[in-house]
Amino acid sequence: MTYERCEHCGNETPPWDTIRSDSGDGSYELLCTLCFNARIAESNGFTDFENVRLDPIRIIDCHGESHQFHFQLRLLGDRIALDAFELRGEIPAGYRFQLIGEADDDVLVLLGRLVEKIRRALSVTHIDFRERRIIDCTVRGRIEWDESQAGHMPLVVVDGKDISWNDLGRMLMSMEGWQFRLDIADPSEEL
Ligand SMILES: [Zn+2]
């Protein structure tokens, strides 16, 4: 996987830890997350903002499987977004979680809340992947795009695993005639 060079500090950075930033004159600069945050903090006068890089942590799911979560903390105006995600190679894949806070929030408190959120999510399984069926009557997951379908069809990520739209459809066929409700929520909401 190719690392990219931050145009401000010059550090070689994995792609998930870079942000394309509008430099104000119509062009874009590739910055590492720390340089991006420092720029936003300076232009908004947020001297209290804790611009930290958080170390990855491992969390065990309800089947005893270990998941390594990486973090990205972004200052977005007067709010901060804290993302936790797994990587496949250097590409975010699998479980993904987000928390939104205020610019002056204690980052370690937010991290604690995000880890609790991850633990709650990893304590539940929705799909039996061996029998390819929905375990109960609820499925929670994330909508992604399916590369193999040129992005025309969704790929859903449930229990941290990719499921094609077709496979999800097959699983639903064991419930033919039943009703369903489709709720969609933004990435920081808890389902
Ligand atoms: Zn940098």
Q: Residue 117 Cα, ligand 1 centroid: separation in angstroms?
A: 29
> Where do the structural domains in the chain lie, given as residue ranges?
4-122, 132-175
CA distance 120 to 172: 25
Rounded mean pLDDT of 153-171? 96
Rounded mean pLDDT of 38-54? 90
Rounded mean pLDDT of 117-128? 97
CB 122 within 8 A of CB 95: yes
- Write down the pLDDT at residue 1: 67
Q: Residue 47 Cα, ligand 1 centroid: separation in angstroms?
A: 18
Q: Residue 34 Cα, ligand 1 centroid: separation in angstroms?
A: 6
- How high does pLDDT run on average in the chain? 94
- Write down the pLDDT at residue 117: 97
Q: Residue 166 Cα, ligand 1 centroid: separation in angstroms?
A: 42
CA distance 58 to 68: 4
- Bridge partners of 157, per DSSP, are 142, 162
User: DSSP labels for 107-148?
Assistant: HHHHHHHHHHHHHHHHT---EETTTTEESSS----EEEE-GG
Buried b (16+ CB within 10 A) or exposed e, 107-138: beebbeebbebbeebbeeeebeeeeeebeeee
Rounded mean pLDDT of 145-155? 90
Percent of the chain predicted with pLDDT > 70: 99
Rounded mean pLDDT of 22-28? 84
Q: Residue 30 Cα, ligand 1 centroid: separation in angstroms?
A: 9
pLDDT band at 25 (very low <50, low <70, confident <90, very high): confident
Residue 152 has pLDDT above 80, yes or no: yes
- Write down the pLDDT at residue 10: 97
- Write down the pLDDT at residue 22: 85
Neighbours of 1 (CB within 10 A): 9
Q: Residue 36 Cα, ligand 1 centroid: separation in angstroms?
A: 7
Question: Residue 40 in 3-state DSSP?
Answer: helix
Q: Which of 78, 76, 80, 119 is nearest to 97 (CA)?
A: 119
Percent of the chain predicted with pLDDT > 90: 83
Q: Residue 19 Cα, ligand 1 centroid: separation in angstroms?
A: 10
Residue 61 has pLDDT above 70, yes or no: yes
Residue 24 has pLDDT above 80, yes or no: no
Q: Residue 28 Cα, ligand 1 centroid: separation in angstroms?
A: 14
Rounded mean pLDDT of 78-105? 94
Q: Residue 5 Cα, ligand 1 centroid: separation in angstroms?
A: 8
